[in-house]
Amino acid sequence: MADLPYATCPYNKEHRIWKLRMPSHIMKCSKSYKGPPLAICKYNATHRVPPSAMEDHLEECSDKQLFHSYEIGQIAL
């Protein structure tokens, strides 16, 4: 239940998007988005959070671990 392949669109909480479709959805949705600008997470380009909340987001980003293990994997090769 916790690992459904769906995520909530950062631009509209009403949008439940299949994770694999999120990058293209975000491209479309960001064009019609009228709210305050959102900053892009450096661990996952589909994470958009208000710039003031980015520091907290990076601390607890679900892709942080993934990002680092990928880096370590590259070094090990």
- Residues that bind Zn ion in the complex, under the rule CB under 5 A: 9, 11-12, 15, 29, 41, 43-44, 47, 61
Q: Is the CB of 7 or the CB of 9 nearer to Zn ion? A: 9
User: What is the C-alpha separation between 29 and 26, in angstroms, rounded?
Assistant: 5
Q: Minimum CB separation from Zn ion for residue 39, in Å?
A: 10
Q: Minimum CB separation from Zn ion for residue 5, in Å?
A: 16
- Tally the residues of the chain: 77
Q: Is the CB of 7 or the CB of 41 nearer to Zn ion? A: 41
Q: How far lies 42's CA from each of 5, 23, 48, 49, 54, in Å?
A: 21, 14, 10, 11, 10
